[in-house]
Structure 1
Amino acid sequence: MTEINGYQQSDDENHIEVVDLPTLGEEAQKVIPTGGFGYISGGSENDWTEKVNQQAFTHKQIVPRVLSGVDNPSTETSLLGIDTSMPILMTPLAAHGLAHSQGEKDTAKGAAAAGTIMSSSTYSTFSIQDIAAVGNGAPQFFQLYLSKNWDINEAWLSTAVKSGVKAIILTADATVGGYREADIINNFKFPMPMANLENISKNSQNGQGTGIKEIFASAAQKITPDDIKRIADFTKLPVFVKGIQSPEDAMLAIGGGAAGVWISNHGGRQLNGGPASFDVLPAIAKAVGGRVPVIFDSGIRRGSDVFKALASGADMVAIGRPVIYGLALGGAPAVEDVFNHLNMELKTVMQLAGTKNIAEVKEALMTSFNY
């Protein structure tokens, strides 16, 4: 273990046996200190939306196909011309250092080894450039929490461009922090600095010793489609808008120049009482109509969840908490294991559903029945 300001970080580097993603949290809780685990695992208020994110996948059932002549289905796909081994990428999450001493650097290594895309957060433990440097050229995205100060935004974006990221993710659903009761109960404060905040100014707040509410206080409370265009014009990179939960916002994002729509309710960490992301996915995907890629996150835990999301209109899905739990248990090798296990489950479902590739998954038949 590594200790920083009294906080114990795992520094294990080993492969793990993944039985299923839902139980990874139970094992990781034994390794991650209470405050850090509460921050990673918790939702907002009473966690209702976080819980229904996973339950919503029971609202659709996959119709098995047994005479379709499929064997050895392929999960390879592409996003904005980026080839990946699977339709599963890393969602941006703050402060991976809460789980492991190598934080986002190990997450990036694990995602690269699995053949998929790493997304790093503005509020990462390590800097944009340090995360990019360990990826061995594998594709990475940078997620922007828009600051009220555009000089700061442009500094982060310039660094991201110079570091070779392939796209910018504008998170639009965190203009204030959700009311996260676990953090209050645990009196949680970030024990380590956030490198991107620290690099802006040595005299500014670097994240250490603060809670997420204080950090979000510097975030822009007003985000409009004009901000999408401004980011795209400045970086000359594709911009995904993350936090979309309605067809209306999807249309506004595309109208503002978004190159992709990212359907997410922040893993149930923002507006408690909002719908499960899976339940709003079909209507949003229908409104988008294939004009731009649709990425989906919030609640993915099984290969069948991935299948259902793709069959409901997503082009790729993103996962967060299970990867961080793997990171705590075994660093970069375990991150790779988490991605590969979920992809293995997806291949199994594809075989049983008679779909030989991701294009066929997107056309797969599903039915609805409330059990």
Structure 2
Amino acid sequence: MTEINGYTQSDNEKELHILNLPSLEAEAKKIIPTGGFGYISGGSEDEWTLNENTKAFNNVQIVPRVLSDIDDPQTDTSIFGIDLTMPIITSPSAAQGLAHSQAEKDTARGIAKAGTIMSQSTYASTSIADTAEAGNGAPQFFQLYMSKDWTFNESLLNEAKRVGAKAILLTADATVDGYRESDIINNFQFPLPMANLEKFSSGAGKGKGIGEIYAAAAQKISPDDVQRIKDITGLPVVVKGVQSPEDALIAIGAGADGVYVSNHGGRQLNGGPASFDVLADVAKAVNHKVPVIFDSGIRRGSHVFKALASGADIVALARPIIYGLALGGADGVYSVIEHLNNEFKTVMQLAGTKTIDDVKHAKLIKK
């Protein structure tokens, strides 16, 4: 274990023997300090939306097909011209040093080994450049928490472009932080600085609560900001946090190259719908104009299948990845995403689907 500023970080580096992804949370809780674990695992208010995110998948069932002559399901796919081994990527997740001493660098290593995409967060423990270097050329996205200060925004966007980011995820659902009671109970303050913020202020992030971090965030995000980011970077811009068909169409009209259906893992607006419950309507409105990425609640291979069959092109997850990071470092991250993809392959086989395109056309029944 490594200790920094009185905070203990895991140094684990090992493959994990995983029964299922939900079981990782209890194991990670044993080694991540209370404040850090509460920040990672918690949702807003009484966590109703957080819990509904996973429960919502039970609202539909997969109709299996037999006599389908399938023996080796193929999970390869692509987005923005990037070839992937699976339709599963990481959601951006802040401050991964709370889980492991190698932080985002080990996540990048594990995801690169799996052949898919890591999404970096503005509020990462390690810098954009260091995380990209750890990925050794593997594709990465960069998620922008837009600041009121466009000098800061442009600095991050230019660095992301310089080190090879393939797309920018503009988080639009976090203009203020959700009311996260676990952080209040734990009186949580970030024990470690955030590397991207340190470019403007030494030690930035350290000793602050999430509310103080968000105080610098832009409370006004408009459609015009999509084009501004595209003009700066020349990269595809995906609007993250879309929960309604209307907003999906506004994003596309503003020039967005992708729509990211998410409720921030139940960490923002409590009492809003489960992300899966709005996915089909949003995807219908998008109508294949741009890719649809989906997160919030993915824990099973059947969840991946149902999301793709409901209109997602790619699914993403964060908390199980961070638990895997704490438990096994880069190898733990790899173990988590490979386990989920293997579960997904099993579901594909039993559902009678050979390819990702077959999954997208699979029949679901609503309860």
Alpha-carbon distance in structure 2 between the residues aligned to 1:368 and 1:255: 31
Per-residue deviation, residues 273-299 of structure 1 (Å, max 9, x unmatched): 000000000000000000000000000
* Superposition pairs of residues 26-105 of structure 1, within 5 angstroms: 26-105=26-105
Alignment partner, residue 155 of structure 1: 155
Identify the residue that residue 278 of structure 1 maps to in structure 2: 276
Quick one: distance in 2 between partners of 1:237 and 1:8?
38
Q: Give structure 2 stretches of 5+ with no counterpart.
A: none
Normalization by structure 2: what TM-score?
0.99
1:260-319 CA deviation, whole Å, 9 max, x = no partner? 000000000000000000000000000000000000000000000000000000000001
State the shift of 1:159 in Å.
Answer: 0.6
Superposition map of 1:165-314 within 5 A: 165-202=165-202, 206-314=204-312
- Aligned pair count reads 367
* Whole-angstrom CA distance in 2 between matches of 1:3 and 1:112: 27
Aligned to 1:333: 331
Following superposition, the deviation at residue 201 of structure 1 comes to 3.5
Tell me, in whole angstroms, the C-alpha distance in 1 between the residues paired with 2:322 and 2:99: 7
| Alpha carbons 1:247, 1:284 under 8 Å: kept | yes
Report the 3-state secondary structure (helix = DSSP H, G, I; strand = E; otherwise coil) of the residue aligned with 2:175: coil
Pick the aligned partner of 1:344 from 342, 345, 353: 342
Q: Which amino acid aligns with 1:210?
A: K
Percent identity, aligned pairs only? 68
Is it true that 1:317 corresponds to 2:350 in the alignment?
Answer: no
SS in structure 1 at match of 2:27? helix
2:116 corresponds in structure 1 to: 116
Question: 1:200 deviation in Å?
Answer: 2.5
Paired amino acid for 2:128: I
CA distance in 2, matches of 1:20, 1:34: 23
Using the size of structure 1 for normalisation, the TM-score is: 0.98
Q: Secondary structure at 2:89's aligned position in 1? A: strand
How much does 1:64 deviate?
Answer: 1.0
Render the CA deviation track for 1:167-223: whole Å, top value 9, x for unaligned.
Answer: 000000000000000000000000000000001233xx6100001110001000010
2:200, 2:336 → 1: CA distance?
33
SS of residue in 2 equivalent to 1:295: strand
Report the 3-state secondary structure (helix = DSSP H, G, I; strand = E; otherwise coil) of the residue aligned with 1:124. coil
Aligned to 2:135: 135
Q: CA RMSD in A?
A: 0.6
Distance 2:270 2:26 in 1: 23
Hey, what's the Cα distance between the residues in 2 that align with 1:206 and 1:263?
30
**Stretches of 4+ moved more than 3 A in 1?**
none
Alpha-carbon separation, structure 2, partners of 1:109 and 1:338 = 13
Q: Deviations over 1:233-285 (max 9, x none)?
A: 11000001000000011011101111000000000000000000000000000
Q: Is the 8 A contact 1:323 1:339 kept in 2?
A: yes
Q: Distance in 2 between matches of 1:190 and 1:66?
A: 52
1:119 is displaced (CA, Å) by: 0.4
Q: Deviations over 1:327-368 (max 9, x none)?
A: 000000010000000000000000000000000000001111
Deviation at 1:123, TM superposition (A): 0.1
User: SS in structure 2 opposite 1:23?
Assistant: helix
Q: Letter of the aligned partner of 2:97 in structure 1?
A: G
Does the CA-based 8 Å contact 1:155-1:200 persist in structure 2? no
Shift of 1:95: 0.3
Cα deviation digits, residues 117-161 of structure 1 (max 9, x gap): 000000000000000011111000100000001111001111111
Provide the C-alpha distance between the structure 2 equivalents of 1:87 and 1:164, rounded to a whole number of angstroms: 21
Q: Distance in 2 between matches of 1:101 and 1:291?
A: 41
Q: CA deviation at 1:65?
A: 1.0
Q: Residue type of the partner of 2:114?
A: A
Q: Counterparts of 1:300 and 1:317 in 2: how far apart (Å)?
A: 8
List runs of 5+ in structure 1 lacking aligned partners: none
